[in-house]
Structure formats: structure tokens, C-alpha cells
Amino acid sequence: MRNSEKYVPCEREQAFLDSVQNAKYNREIITGIGKFITGDVPEDMKTFYSQLELDALAELDGSDRDVAARMPVKITRHYFEQAKISRPMQVLIKASPKETMDLDGAEDPGKQMDYSPVEGLIHKYELGLIYVASTCSAHCRFCYREELIAKKEVTRPDGTVAPKGLAQISELIPYIKQHNQLVAGNNGRHPETGREKLREILISGGDPLVLGNKNIATWLAALAEAGIESIRIGTKELAFFPDRFDDTFFDMLDKFHDTYPEINLRFMVHFNHPDEFLKMAPDGSYVENAAGGLLWRDNTRRAVRKLRSRSWINVDNQAPIIYGINNDPDALRIMQRELKRNGVENHYFFCGRDIVGHKAFNVPIEEAWRILNESQKGLSGVEAHARLSITHYKGKTEVAAVTNEAIPGLPGAENGVVIFKLLRSAADAPERAKVTMVGRNPEAIWFSGYDDRVLMDEAGLYSLYGIELFGHDKAA
Ligand code: SF4
């Protein structure tokens, strides 16, 4: 039963909200593969898919392998303009029959519903993630929120089945306040879950920037009033529609800062490939900037500059390494260097999640580790901050090392080992930095690829599922 009680902003909050202006945007979005199939798109977009590609997609329409039912098709003109000459961007945005050749995968990747005490909130660590929108300006084919965006039914821990819902302020704010009160009254730990104070919220979706300024402002102010100290906004709008970062948006952010000067804002942006933000010559090469570095697309550069000119805003990039898009050390090297040079931190690269259809996208774990490390050769220390992360049910985990050499005397380690390090346990901060070591399997694209070769499991990534150590004698 959802809370129907209306959320009432306080005076300070209302004064801020009254000052916010909405604006209208024309993203020139094409939604649905059907429009490409029927030719109901602008003239210059008609050849974006070949006839062969469209025929193959049309054949799957309405079948078990319907590609658009797995993940709806959507593209902005801004993205299209560069995708015309960028193969990686085409792979990111164009639907392909390959996506549904193998529909293996989790209906709720990371079992997020286990961590959802309130609809639309995923509460892990001292951080909460909230879904405030169920779409983005365009859709990445590999999307790790495909179940939310395609509105698929998901089984909850209590056995009920329903699509994931969005967070409501009237439900979320009382939850945050109550959680933090209980923590404060119990020596810094929640009496039942043991969790710490909820002090950060990641506003996510979908993309929060598809919402109007007033709507975003309502979330920011309500979270600040509830005692949240740091607010992150997860967005790919710098790649899909950078003009969204207009004067009305910055005016809203500035007024928010004036009203709540202690709140840190962090934009978690999502570039997969440098083609998404660098100027490209018709032959696909980047354009040297005579003053240093490479030239950026003007509106993306303007948006990043405006974000970074505000000392209370941080900008971090994080992206999965996806087959055919950015499994390319040279591209990732250029991306990390250019982002850092322009004030964007390189935070995480991810191994793709076990979403439905993940085999069409995911690069094997050991290969992703090699690509990232190869890409960081030639980068300076500050440019090479990013780590390779893979999200385990227990929490965010780093692929910390992959060795080529055997560990002498250790059965199962003849071909080298992979070391996972738990970065944050979803349940309990003290578990940080515990490790798990497995024998190598170059084919593995998920943790399960190592089930038969676990050598050491201090982090409990496998014992959680009753998986025993390699060579363990069951009869003993
Ligand atoms: S931007 Fe993120 S949430 Fe949106 S489609 Fe891409 S991966 Fe999914």
C-alpha cells in the first residue's frame, strides 16, 4: 500500500521552488524501431539502418525474440549526428537481432528488490539510489536498467510480481528521516539492519534530466531538508542532449546552492566512448586543438565547463565496457585523458551486468581487466584513477588483479588467478577490502563462471551461495 499523504514543503523549500523556471527542449527524439521500418523518420535518418537490418528486426516483431520489447528503441538528433560516422555509437544505439539470440539473464540484476524497503529506493551502504524517471533521452542497447525502462514485471521478495515503480517524495522522505533517527538513537547503527546514517542519495532512473527543472528542484530540496548531505545525479544527458544544461538549469542549481550551501552535488555522467563528445572529421579522426588536447563538440564542452566552474559540483564518469562499443584500449585511453583534462574524474568502469540478453554485450571479466589496464598505460597517475568494478549481490566489487603466472603449490591456480576485492558490502561497511581469489577462466563473463575454481573466499562472494573451495573434499 503506497502512502497517499501529500508532501508539504517547508517555507525555505517553497521559496526556492518558487524561483525555479522550467524550459522547453526539442530533443528531436525518434522513438520505436517501427518508425525506421515504415520510413517515418526525417530524410537524413532513413539510411541509419540498412534495409537488411530493418528486415531482420521486422521479422522478430511480436515474437519471443522481439528486440524492441526487450529494450525500447530511442535516439536524439544530437546523438544521431555523430553516430552517423561512429561505429561504436551505432552499436550503442541501434537495435540488433543479436540482442535476443540468447535471453539468458536475471530479471532483476543484482537482486535490487531485496534492498528496496520503499518503492523506487535501493538502500545499500550509507547510500540510497532512487528511480525518479523510467526513460532517458535515448536508450543504450546494453542498458542495465532495461527491466525498468521496458517496464518488465519483476518478482519481489514477498512473492508479488509487478514492474518496478518510481520513488515518491511522500514515501521516501519519511523513510529517510525515520532511518536516520533510529541510527542516531542507536550509536550510529540501525538497530535492525546495522546500517549507518543514510547520507547520500543518487538520483537516477532512467535519466533524471528528462524531468523538468521544477521536478528536479523538488527532489533536491526535499532531500536536503531530510538531512541528506551529498546528492548525486546519474545522467547520460551530456552524451544524448547536452543542450539540456541550459541557463535555466544552472540558474536552478545556483539557487539550490544559495539555499543549501552545505550540500555537495555530484554529477555521475556516462560517456562510453570519446566519439560521444569529441569533434570528428568525416573520416572519423579526432581534431587536434592547437591550444592542447583534442577539440570537443561545442555544446558538450560548454556544459562540462559550466558544471566544473562551480566549486560545489563534482563530475565523475562511469561506464561499462561493452563489446563492440568500447572494448578498445586506445579509445578508452583517449577518453580518460580528455575527461580528466576537462575536469571530469574517471570513476569506475564496469563489467556488464547479468541483464537479460547480456551475452550480446558483455566482455569477459579478464578481458575487461586487460583492456582497462592496457588503456591506462601511458596515462598519468591522476588520469588513471578508474577501477574495474563488478556488482556482486554482496556489494560493489573490484576486479583487483589478474595474474598470468601460476601460484606454486596451489591446485587450481596453474593458469593464474583473478582477485576480487569487495569495495563496499551492501550490508556492512567493515567488510570492505576483503578479497576472493579464483582460478582463471578467460571465458567467464559473470561471477558464476568461476563457481568451480574458487581458491580463497574471505569476501564470501561464493560461500554466500554455498559454493565450496576448489578441491574441497565433501566426504572429509
Ligand atoms: S543512459 Fe543509463 S539508464 Fe539510460 S538507457 Fe543508457 S544505460 Fe540505460
Least confident residue range of 46-60, 288-302, 356-370, 415-429: 415-429
pTM of the model: 0.94
Closest C-alpha to ligand 1, atom 3: 206
Nearest atom within ligand 1 for CA of residue 146: 8
Nearest atom within ligand 1 for CA of residue 139: 5
Q: What is the mean pLDDT of residues 74-98?
A: 97
Cβ atoms of 389 and 78 within 8 Å: the answer is: no
* pLDDT score for 163: 78
pLDDT digits (tens, 9 = 90+) for 209-232: 999 999 999 999 999 999 999 999
Distance 238 CA to ligand 1 centre (A): 12
* pLDDT score for 475: 47
Distance 390 CA to ligand 1 centre (A): 17
Report how far residue 6's alpha carbon sits from residue 377's, in angstroms, rounded to the nearest whole number: 54
Cβ atoms of 131 and 203 within 8 Å: the answer is: no
Nearest atom within ligand 1 for CA of residue 235: 1
Cα distances (Å, whole numbers) of residue 37 to 33, 55, 78, 93, 140: 6, 8, 21, 16, 19
Amino acid at 20: V
The average confidence (pLDDT) of the chain is: 93
Please indicate whether residue 157 or residue 454 has the higher confidence score (pLDDT).
454
Closest C-alpha to ligand 1, atom 1: 236
What's the 3-state SS for 132-198? Answer: CCCCCCCCCCCCCCHHHHCCCEEECCCCCEEECCCCCHHHHHHHHHHHHHHHHCCCCCCCCCCCCCC
Cβ atoms of 417 and 440 within 8 Å: the answer is: yes
Nearest atom within ligand 1 for CA of residue 236: 1
pLDDT digits (tens, 9 = 90+) for 28-83: 999 999 999 999 999 999 999 999 999 999 999 999 999 999 999 999 999 999 99
* pLDDT score for 53: 97
- Residue 4 reports pLDDT greater than 80: no
- Residue 194 reports pLDDT greater than 90: no
Q: Write out residues with Cβ below 6 Å of ligand 1.
A: 136, 139-140, 143-145, 206-207, 236, 270
Distance 228 CA to ligand 1 centre (A): 25
